[in-house]
Chain A
Amino acid sequence: MSDACPVTVSVETGDFDVAADTARLCGGRHDIGAVASFIGLCRDEAGQLDALELEHYPGMAEDELKRIAGEAAARWPLLGVVIRHRYGVIAPGAQIVAVICASSHRAAALAATDFIMDFLKSRAPFWKKEHGRRGGDKGWVDARDADEAALARWHQG
């Protein structure tokens, strides 16, 4: 499976470049017909957020992202997966996470990207803390029941 589907995972403080990753993923091969990507950004809905601080479990975060990518590759005929997740202090508007899936056809690339994001949100060991604009610590972001519920649809059928 890994021969057919190279998996790249990184957990770093620095930013990433999805265009460059996509070019690398497809470079030199002619069997890829579809690349789907998702980018998650740091969102400030009410103008109250100074920054998000992302904590992670070093080692397990990378392992879990690789495991999720492997599950996707076992489920769809993928030709490459890239998952990048940042940690540390991230300003509103900045990138937090990217998932890129390549396949021969669109349906597999789109579904695998969706699947990876669903599992990433509830299974990859990252935690977000909000820092308020007035310097106040707004506290840890609560997990959403909807995120856990989103996993259920992948268990059916």
Chain B
Amino acid sequence: MRLVYFAWVRERIGRASEDIDLPADVRSVDDVIDFLVARGDDYAHAFAARKSIRAALDKAHVSSSTPIAGARELAFFPPMTGG
């Protein structure tokens, strides 16, 4: 799955995107966050304020409990500040 990061989530992780083969037991957006946090300090730092992190699955907003099956791209980003 392609993971993409924006704003301070991107800065804390240290990259804008990456392709990761997720284990079969990683089924939801929440599971992906758990999986990433276990990968290292940069990820743990990025997701430290976990409740404020927003997710989009194939470029549509989703809640963290959403299943990821069939999706190609999962994005994580802070609350939006456009306009």
Please list the residues of chain A having a beta carbon within 8 angstroms of any beta carbon in chain B: 40, 54-57, 59-60, 63-64, 85, 96-97, 117, 120-129, 140-143, 148
List residues of chain A with CB within 8 A of the CB of B81.
Answer: 121, 126-128, 140-143
Please list the residues of chain B having a beta carbon within 8 angstroms of any beta carbon in chain A: 4, 6-8, 56, 59-61, 75, 77-83
A60 engages B7 (CB within 8 Å): no
A82 to chain B, nearest CB (A): 15
B3 to chain A, nearest CB (A): 13
If over half of A's interface residues share one DSSP class (helix, strand or loop), that class is named, otherwise mixed; here it is mixed
A120 engages B78 (CB within 8 Å): no
A57-B56, A57-B59 known; A143+B82 contact, CB < 8 A: no
List residues of chain A with CB within 8 A of the CB of B59.
Answer: 57, 59-60, 63
| Contact of A127 (CB < 8 Å), options: B4, B61, B75, B77 | B77
A123 engages B80 (CB within 8 Å): yes
A120 to chain B, nearest CB (A): 5
List residues of chain B with CB within 8 A of the CB of A125.
Answer: 6, 56, 75, 77, 80, 82
A126 engages B56 (CB within 8 Å): no
Interface centre among A117, A121, A125, A148 (most CB of B within 10 A): A125
| Contact of B82 (CB < 8 Å), options: A97, A140, A142 | A97
- Nearest first, the 5 A-B pairs at minimum CB distance are A126-B82, A143-B79, A60-B59, A127-B7, A121-B83
List residues of chain B with CB within 8 A of the CB of A55.
Answer: 6-7
List residues of chain B with CB within 8 A of the CB of A57.
Answer: 4, 6, 56, 59, 75, 77
B75 engages A120 (CB within 8 Å): no
- Complex formed: what's the CA distance from A121 to B82 in Å? 5
